[in-house]
Chains A and B, each alone.
Chain A
Amino acid sequence: MPGPDALLLAASESNLLAARQMMAFTLGFHIVLACIGVAFPALVLTANYIGLKRNDPDAMRLARRWSKVAAVTFAVGAVTGTVLSFEFGLLWPEFMERFGDVFGIAFAIEGLFFFTEAIFLAIYIYGWKRLGGWAHFWSGVPMLVAGIGGAFSVVAANAWMNTPQGFTLDAAGRVVDTAPLEVLFSPAWVYEVPHMILAAYMVAGFLFASVYAVGMLKGRRDRHHRLGLLIPLTIACALTPVQIFVGDVAARGVADHQPAKFAGFECIQETGPNQTEYLGGICTEDGVKGAIGIPGLDSWLVGFSTDTVVTGLNDIPPDERPPANTLLLLSFDAMVGIGFAMLALAGWLAFAWWRRRDIPATPWFLRAVSISGVAAIVAVWCGWIVTEVGRQPWIVQGHMRTEEAVTEAEGIWFVFAGTMLLYAALGATTILVLRGMARRWREQGEGGEAETPYGPAEEGAGR
């Protein structure tokens, strides 16, 4: 019979798994809405600007409808983001107790941006009719800044977890001093922050474009749909090559700062030069099975020479190696693969525009765009799997293990199951509501813009 200590250990291991799954699930849900929140202002303001500048009713209608969509997605994003704030404490109390005063600095700044976005989003969304055109446009600009600033703060906090610095511990492991600027600008922020902001713009851009691509495939090829496709798609495509460059810098940064994570997602078993870059496959202790291997490319990508020595898992203590190497390997490859597929899509659009000032004529282009939104979301999920699973077993790299951070509370699996049901309903309802709005807009045609996401049944009933 196991002793009480063993039972306690088993309980905390079970909690660890439940807490990690729950965090991953709720974060994966929220990140989609967060991406829209970060990048939506740029999309809507672009449409709004075109509408005002060229007196273009199609662009204005797009801006108005997108702002109504944002009213729904921002609400869902705000509440699922709040859940994450609770989860920090409910799932990881030891982490918060020991390091809340360090990385909380980034979140305090995030609070400013969240306020800014909530306030000006409300003014923008509910100010269409009564504010003058340009005054209304400018009321939306703080949202744009807030989206980027908020993303910076949150991702800077995550970057700190990967490359922690800016604090002093006493003998008991308590934080006794902090250096806020070092916390905010830990080494990984340089690549993590732009990588995520670009990802958010790509998710929102491809996602919005994919909606109009589906509409065009159904034969709705009016100017409204073309513009609705082109504005977000152009922004997303233009940023794709920049993202691939930033991603490349990020991978080298990880190789430098977190060799265990890098060895994990590249499945490098033995330290040495001339490492093979594998595409796909299954990671085993004897190397990658069933993959396409390009000899020397991995070393070359890390140090621009096949002689570059890359750390393998053999040089990482066994209890500090990341788990689930096949998952990491496939997630990384999927993210990079999707990135290059998007680059091809961007090239296709650029070529067609250069030759004919039009989108490619074939329906295959629209089909590709119509799946690009979901593909972008999958790429973001894969990227976060690489970042977060790849950092394990650490919650704060080198300083605190995730198992030390987890709560002792009971019933985490139960709460997790309930959360999955709740979020399934939340996600399904969000999609149904947005589809219902789109259907009503189609039925109303040009004129009817009275329907609002929140709109009371009878306007002005109280007057």
Chain B
Amino acid sequence: MSKADACAAILWFGATMYAVFGGADFGAGLWDLLAGGAERGSRARARIQRSITPVWEANHVWLIFILVVLWTAFPEVFAAIMSTLYVPLTLAALGIVLRGAAFAFRKSVEGLPARRALGATFALSSVMTPFFMGTVVGAIASGNVPPEGNGAAFSSWLEPLPLLTGALFVASGAYLAAIFLVADSHRAGDSEMEGYFAGRALAAGLVAGALAVLGLVALHADARYVYERLIVEGLPLVIVSILAGFGVLALLLRRGRRGLRPLAIAAVAAVIWGWGVAQFPYLLPTSLDIAAAAAPGPTLTSVLVVFAVAAVTILPALGLLYTLAQRDIVGESGE
């Protein structure tokens, strides 16, 4: 594996972390949106808030990580994506600002109207952000980003595959969020919320699965290279994703809780790596590959060194944060 390939793998690792943990935070926003009126939804909202409060900012940093690794290791790709897909990216950035700020503000204001307005802002932007990020990924896979940049501002992403990918991002985030919330409710001994989110996890899983199948059809139509590699080289990952997805389904129906989260994470992560394998060796299929887009050697070495440092410092620290949060040592109640 070349240094450039290793940097691309790091990029995919960051994307996986963001899709799983950041995606679940966005998905929790969707459940907040759908929780119903202030009275009826208060219990679900309190659960959601408790689960994501201590971790969402750390999870958000994966996005910064992806952007920085992309522009440092593959600057041409970064510039091409940014100068072509500036419409969905601007909307995603807007969603990020609204989501983060509204979430932090929501419970620090008094009065139902203000809380409701901020809550709605948080919830709506939690749907909008992953959707537009998904359109960006779909547009890249479709080959709509020319390597020299400044591609079509609208038709590059207003196509079936990008729009389906956007919907898939929303659904998979909602799926992961519901699974995590089932586990959190279970741990807190709240069987009502456990059942509430289990039902939603089932629904989101089915929707995400259906969208994935539709995505495959769109891939066949609009991104032939990616499709052909996905069903050959990427086949093992596709199978892993399907098996993990059915595993989750079976566990949910049998009210099993052990292994629920790892299986759900595997189902989503396998899709992301399947996409990576299917695109390989291209970053912009089929016009710009990893080797051609790569930064000079010393820059790639720097990225690898920084990642190595992150692997021994940041990942354990994140593990510590998650562990403390899971054991309720760190959380809103500990504030």
Known: A82-B93, A104-B71. A131 touches B329 (CB 8 A): yes
- Say if the beta carbon of B81 comes within 8 Å of chain A: yes
Known: A86-B93, A105-B302. A97 touches B58 (CB 8 A): no
| Contacting residues of chain A (92-149) with chain B, CB-CB under 8 angstroms | 93-94, 96-102, 104-105, 107-112, 114-116, 118-123, 125-131, 142
> What 1/0 flags go to A62-92 for Cβ under 8 Å of B?
0000001001101110111111011011100
Contact in complex: B306, A112 (CB < 8 Å): yes
In the complex, A129 Cα to B332 Cα: how many Å?
10
Known: A83-B93, A408-B83. A115 touches B314 (CB 8 A): yes
- Say if the beta carbon of B108 comes within 8 Å of chain A: yes
Contact in complex: A127, B57 (CB < 8 Å): no
- Say if the beta carbon of A410 comes within 8 Å of chain B: yes
Size bin of chain A's contact surface: 35 or more
Chain A's closest residue to B150 (CB) is: A408
Q: Which residues of chain B are near A436, meaning CB under 8 Å? A: 108-110
| Contacting residues of chain B (92-146) with chain A, CB-CB under 8 angstroms | 92-94, 96-97, 99-101, 103-110
Chain A's closest residue to B105 (CB) is: A433
- Say if the beta carbon of A459 comes within 8 Å of chain B: yes
- Stretch of B43-51, B255-263, B279-287 that contacts chain A: B43-51
* Contact for A93 among B73, B106, B149, B153, CB less than 8 A: B149
- Say if the beta carbon of B232 comes within 8 Å of chain A: no
- Say if the beta carbon of B89 comes within 8 Å of chain A: yes
- Say if the beta carbon of A437 comes within 8 Å of chain B: yes
- Stretch of A171-179, A215-223, A350-358, A392-400 that contacts chain B: A171-179
| Contacting residues of chain B (47-76) with chain A, CB-CB under 8 angstroms | 47, 49-50, 53-55, 57-58, 60-61, 63-65, 67-69, 71-73, 75-76
- Say if the beta carbon of B333 comes within 8 Å of chain A: yes
Q: Which residues of chain B are near A126, meaning CB under 8 Å? A: 53-54, 325, 330-332, 334-335
| Contacting residues of chain A (14-72) with chain B, CB-CB under 8 angstroms | 68, 71-72
In the complex, A13 Cα to B67 Cα: how many Å?
27
In the complex, A432 Cα to B114 Cα: how many Å?
12
Contact in complex: A79, B71 (CB < 8 Å): no
**How far in angstroms is the closest Cβ of chain B from A427?**
10
Q: Which residues of chain A are near B334, meaning CB under 8 Å? A: 126-131
**How far in angstroms is the closest Cβ of chain A from B332?**
6
**How far in angstroms is the closest Cβ of chain B from A62?**
15
Interface centre among B80, B104, B301 (most CB of A within 10 A): B104
In the complex, A142 Cα to B61 Cα: how many Å?
16
- Say if the beta carbon of A455 comes within 8 Å of chain B: yes
In the complex, A53 Cα to B61 Cα: how many Å?
34
Contact in complex: B330, A89 (CB < 8 Å): no
Q: Which residues of chain A are near B73, meaning CB under 8 Å? A: 101, 104
- Say if the beta carbon of A456 comes within 8 Å of chain B: yes
In the complex, A88 Cα to B150 Cα: how many Å?
15
Chain B's closest residue to A177 (CB) is: B296
Q: Which residues of chain A are near B101, meaning CB under 8 Å? A: 75-76, 79, 426, 429-430
Known: A177-B298, A408-B150. A452 touches B332 (CB 8 A): yes
Chain B's closest residue to A107 (CB) is: B68
Q: Which residues of chain B are near A446, meaning CB under 8 Å? A: none
Q: Which residues of chain B are near A364, meaning CB under 8 Å? A: none
- Say if the beta carbon of B295 comes within 8 Å of chain A: yes
> What 1/0 flags go to A423-448 for Cβ under 8 Å of B?
00010011011001100100000000
Contact in complex: A122, B295 (CB < 8 Å): no
Contact in complex: B42, A127 (CB < 8 Å): no
- Say if the beta carbon of B78 comes within 8 Å of chain A: yes
Interface residue count on the B side (C-beta < 8 Å):
85
* Contact for B71 among A96, A429, A440, A457, CB less than 8 A: A96
**How far in angstroms is the closest Cβ of chain B from A185?**
13
Q: Which residues of chain B are near A286, meaning CB under 8 Å? A: none
Contact in complex: A119, B306 (CB < 8 Å): no
Contact in complex: A97, B79 (CB < 8 Å): yes
In the complex, A415 Cα to B86 Cα: how many Å?
11
* Contact for A454 among B53, B61, B94, B318, CB less than 8 A: B53
Q: Which residues of chain B are near A10, meaning CB under 8 Å? A: none
> What 1/0 flags go to B176-190 for Cβ under 8 Å of A?
000000000100111
In the complex, A242 Cα to B149 Cα: how many Å?
46
Contact in complex: B335, A90 (CB < 8 Å): no
* Contact for B153 among A75, A127, A409, A430, CB less than 8 A: A409
| Contacting residues of chain A (147-198) with chain B, CB-CB under 8 angstroms | 175-180
* Contact for B58 among A99, A105, A115, A410, CB less than 8 A: A115
> What 1/0 flags go to A355-396 for Cβ under 8 Å of B?
000000000000000000000000000000000000000000
Contact in complex: A123, B321 (CB < 8 Å): yes
* Contact for A407 among B80, B86, B295, B325, CB less than 8 A: B86
Known: A108-B68, A115-B314. A458 touches B46 (CB 8 A): yes
Q: Which residues of chain B are near A433, meaning CB under 8 Å? A: 105, 108-109
- Say if the beta carbon of B324 comes within 8 Å of chain A: yes
Contact in complex: A104, B53 (CB < 8 Å): no
In the complex, A458 Cα to B46 Cα: how many Å?
8
**How far in angstroms is the closest Cβ of chain B from A171?**
16
- Say if the beta carbon of A4 comes within 8 Å of chain B: no
- Say if the beta carbon of B2 comes within 8 Å of chain A: no
Contact in complex: B104, A118 (CB < 8 Å): no
- Say if the beta carbon of B303 comes within 8 Å of chain A: yes
* Contact for A123 among B75, B153, B328, B330, CB less than 8 A: B330
* Contact for B296 among A130, A176, A461, CB less than 8 A: A176
Chain A's closest residue to B184 (CB) is: A462
Q: Which residues of chain B are near A452, meaning CB under 8 Å? A: 107-108, 332, 335
In the complex, A76 Cα to B103 Cα: how many Å?
10
**How far in angstroms is the closest Cβ of chain A from B65?**
5
Contact in complex: A454, B108 (CB < 8 Å): yes
Q: Which residues of chain A are near B309, meaning CB under 8 Å? A: 112
Q: Which residues of chain B are near A459, meaning CB under 8 Å? A: 332-333
In the complex, A454 Cα to B51 Cα: how many Å?
12
- Say if the beta carbon of B320 comes within 8 Å of chain A: yes
Q: Which residues of chain B are near A120, meaning CB under 8 Å? A: 317
**How far in angstroms is the closest Cβ of chain A from B184?**
9
Contact in complex: A178, B296 (CB < 8 Å): yes
In the complex, A99 Cα to B296 Cα: how many Å?
11
> What 1/0 flags go to A316-347 for Cβ under 8 Å of B?
00000000000000000000000000000000
Chain B's closest residue to A131 (CB) is: B329
- What residues of chain A have their CB less than 8 Å away from a CB belonging to chain B? 68, 71-72, 74-76, 78-83, 85-86, 88-90, 93-94, 96-102, 104-105, 107-112, 114-116, 118-123, 125-131, 142, 175-180, 407-410, 415, 418, 422, 426, 429-430, 432-433, 436-437, 440, 452-463
Known contacts A93-B82, A127-B329, A426-B97, then 8 further A-B pairs from the complex at CB < 8 Å, ordered by chain A residue: A75-B103, A108-B303, A114-B64, A116-B317, A131-B329, A433-B108, A440-B110, A454-B106
* Nearest 8 pairs of A and B residues by beta carbon: A104-B72, A89-B82, A100-B75, A101-B295, A97-B79, A75-B104, A79-B100, A100-B71
11 A-B pairs with C-beta separation under 8 A: A82-B63, A86-B92, A90-B82, A97-B78, A118-B60, A119-B314, A422-B94, A429-B101, A433-B108, A458-B42, A459-B333
